[in-house]
């Protein structure tokens, strides 16, 4: 008998599962449940127990620590006028592997960078295996933004600073320069690198996988700006000194020249000009000759400008009263196998007359009467032969010969400026003892707030006596008359020395010098001028260097508001 459902369809039960199939089902279900349990356990472990793992791994792919550039300290003159400042710039870099290969985008990038497309492609090819290359460094923010606005993949920006020198070539050798990474390379920029550079900061940012900034999160360490450096230089005097020196070098077709002006009361360097020079803001086609700070690193035989310093040592022996008379006839003399000459036969001269006529014979005869080396000892006491101690990189020490094997001719030559070498700064510093009643002041390139204590080197009465003799040197009718300053008294000394080369002294090659202290009644400035190898109509220090001193010192005294001490001489000078 057959059962039928209400609808007339037979109802059949499923066949029972075989024992083997039922076991497989249970095993598979168990494995799935175990896997789901392990997966759930791992999720719980990562999100509850070891949740930092995912965060660290995610941060490692997105969080970055970027440097914050430190602002380099400013260099100013003594009145706060900027001489070296840092301006913000932008450096563009790229990951060559992310840069588009599309020619149109490459062309747009090259034009925005101001570069040749072929050259850019060649550089990208060279760096193709790397992840970093510079596109262009130290761009103005506006120029860099024009490139970034193209939104070319792989192009990134980095903030930096660029050094700018408002005075340009006027004070280039003293300040020095920085490199493309804003690190000091020359001059005071190098000497005070650690003080000026500051300390970069750090910030945490989020970047995508292409290195593009997504979000600036926090500053981890603030950038510490570098310290400001205040120099002793007076920018007004520096501009004026540089201008006059450049004119003199050009007019006389000279190889170069230096001018150093010191404050007679403090030893501070008020001006230091060099020729030739260069523009530190644009070093394209730079002449290496312009890099040297000749006033501090070049040494030369001083010649007659050193005679007042030697005279101070001779007077201090007590063997030569001021009214001592020396016969310099017939204008030449033989010492050892050498002949010493004066410009002319000056006959009998007093000590003051020896300086006024710049007599080599007079100085030699005085020196050869002594058994003790008082002249070279005086030079050493005045700082000649030792570094000035300013901290300037490469400052020269000059040279003083050893006294072991001195001959009579060498002994005599030292008294009129041959056989030793000095820098212009050393010479100016030595004359601070004449201007300060015998006390020498150390030179300083930085502004000092209080006058330093001088070192007694010359007996005060002797220093004043030599200053008076130098006052007689710069007077109407003398070879140094062109060093006179209208309205002011000047104590000075000219010098003309032959240049020495590898084969001895050169023919028709001279250095023309002048050292001046003014005003004599109350010395305020000391100035050294040296013109190297003038090729004009004359080469004497009184004709070449003295006029430069006169113009520079006259302008400086008016700028410093120093009252005239001899106004009656102004009309006569003019």
Q: How far is 422 from 430, CA to CA, in rounded Å?
A: 10
Axis-axis angle for helices 141-148, 103-113 (nearest 10): 170
- The whole-angstrom separation of Cα 344 and Cα 341 is 8
Residue listed under structure tokens 């020079």: 277
Cα 304 to chain centroid, rounded = 31
Beta carbons within 8 Å of 492's beta carbon, 6+ residues apart? 470, 473, 474, 480, 483, 514, 515, 516, 517, 546, 549
How far is residue 424's CA from residue 218's CA, in Å, rounded to a whole number?
A: 54
Closest among 378, 383, 517 to 443, alpha carbons compared: 383
Quote the DSSP letter at residue 46: I
Active site residue 409: no
> Strand 133-139 relative to strand 75-76: parallel, antiparallel, unpaired?
unpaired
The residue assigned the tokens 């369809």 is: 9
CB 137 within 8 A of CB 180: yes
Q: Do 490 and 518 meet the contact criterion of CB atoms below 8 Å apart?
A: yes
Tell which residue, 265, 252, 226, has the closest CA to residue 441. 265
Instruction: Exactly one of 197, 304, 358, 489 is catalytic; name it.
Output: 304
d(CA 495, CA 476): 18
Whether 261 contacts 526, CB under 8 Å: yes
DSSP secondary structure, 459-501, as one string: -HHHHHHHHHHHHHHSSTTSTTGGG-BTTB--EEEEEEEEEEE
Strands 504-518 and 525-532: antiparallel
Tell me how far apart the 2 most distant CA atoms of the chain are, in Å.
Answer: 170
Catalytic residues: 304
């Amino acid at each position: 008998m057959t059962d039928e459902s209400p609808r007339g369809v037979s109802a059949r039960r499923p066949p029972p599962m075989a024992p083997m199939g039922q076991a497989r089902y249970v095993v598979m279900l168990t494995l799935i449940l175990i896997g789901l349990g392990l997966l759930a356990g791992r999720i719980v472990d990562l999100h509850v127990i070891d949740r930092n793992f995912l965060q660290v791994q995610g941060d490692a792919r997105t969080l970055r620590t970027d440097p914050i550039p430190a602002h380099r300290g400013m260099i100013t003159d003594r009145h706060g006028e900027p001489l070296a400042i840092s301006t913000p710039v932008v450096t563009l870099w790229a990951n060559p592997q992310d840069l588009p290969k599309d020619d149109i985008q490459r062309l747009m990038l090259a034009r925005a960078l101001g570069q040749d497309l072929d050259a850019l492609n060649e550089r990208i090819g060279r760096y193709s295996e790397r992840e970093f290359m510079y596109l262009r460094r130290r761009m103005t923010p506006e120029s860099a933004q024009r490139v970034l606005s193209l939104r070319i993949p792989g192009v990134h920006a980095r903030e930096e600073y660029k050094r700018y020198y408002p005075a340009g070539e006027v004070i280039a050798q003293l300040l020095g320069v920085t490199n493309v990474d804003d690190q000091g390379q020359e001059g005071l920029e190098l000497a005070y690198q650690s003080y000026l550079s500051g300390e970069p900061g750090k910030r945490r940012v989020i970047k995508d996988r292409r290195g593009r900034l997504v979000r600036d999160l926090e500053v981890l360490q603030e950038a510490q700006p570098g310290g400001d450096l205040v120099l002793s230089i007076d920018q007004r005097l520096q501009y004026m000194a540089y201008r006059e020196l450049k004119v003199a070098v050009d007019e006389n077709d000279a190889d170069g020249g230096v001018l150093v002006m010191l404050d007679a009361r403090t030893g501070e360097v008020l001006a230091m000009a060099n020729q030739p020079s260069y523009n530190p803001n644009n070093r394209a086609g730079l002449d290496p000759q312009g890099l040297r700070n000749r006033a501090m690193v070049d040494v030369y035989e001083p010649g007659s400008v050193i005679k007042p310093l030697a005279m101070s040592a001779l007077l201090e022996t007590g063997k030569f009263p001021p009214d001592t008379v020396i016969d310099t006839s017939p204008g030449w003399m033989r010492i050892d196998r050498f002949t010493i000459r004066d410009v002319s036969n000056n006959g009998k001269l007093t000590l003051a007359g020896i300086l006024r006529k710049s007599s080599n014979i007079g100085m030699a005869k005085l020196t050869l009467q002594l058994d003790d080396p008082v002249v070279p000892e005086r030079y050493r006491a005045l700082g000649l032969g030792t570094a000035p101690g300013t901290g300037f990189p490469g400052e020269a020490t000059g040279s003083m010969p050893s006294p072991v094997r001195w001959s009579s001719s060498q002994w005599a030559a030292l008294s009129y400026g041959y056989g030793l070498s000095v820098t212009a700064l050393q010479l100016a510093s030595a004359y601070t003892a004449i201007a300060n009643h015998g006390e020498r002041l150390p030179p300083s390139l930085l502004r000092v707030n209080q006058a330093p204590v001088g070192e007694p080197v010359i007996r005060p009465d002797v220093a004043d006596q030599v200053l008076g003799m130098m006052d007689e040197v710069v007077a109407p009718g003398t070879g140094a008359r062109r060093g006179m300053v209208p309205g002011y008294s000047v104590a000075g000394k000219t010098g003309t020395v032959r240049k020495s080369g590898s084969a001895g002294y050169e023919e028709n090659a001279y250095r023309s010098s002048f050292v001046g202290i003014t005003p004599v009644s109350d010395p305020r400035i000391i100035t050294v001028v040296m013109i190297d190898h003038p090729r004009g109509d004359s080469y004497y220090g009184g004709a070449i260097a003295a006029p430069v001193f006169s113009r520079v010192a006259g302008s400086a005294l008016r700028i410093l508001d120093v009252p005239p001490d001899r106004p009656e001489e102004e009309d006569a000078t003019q």
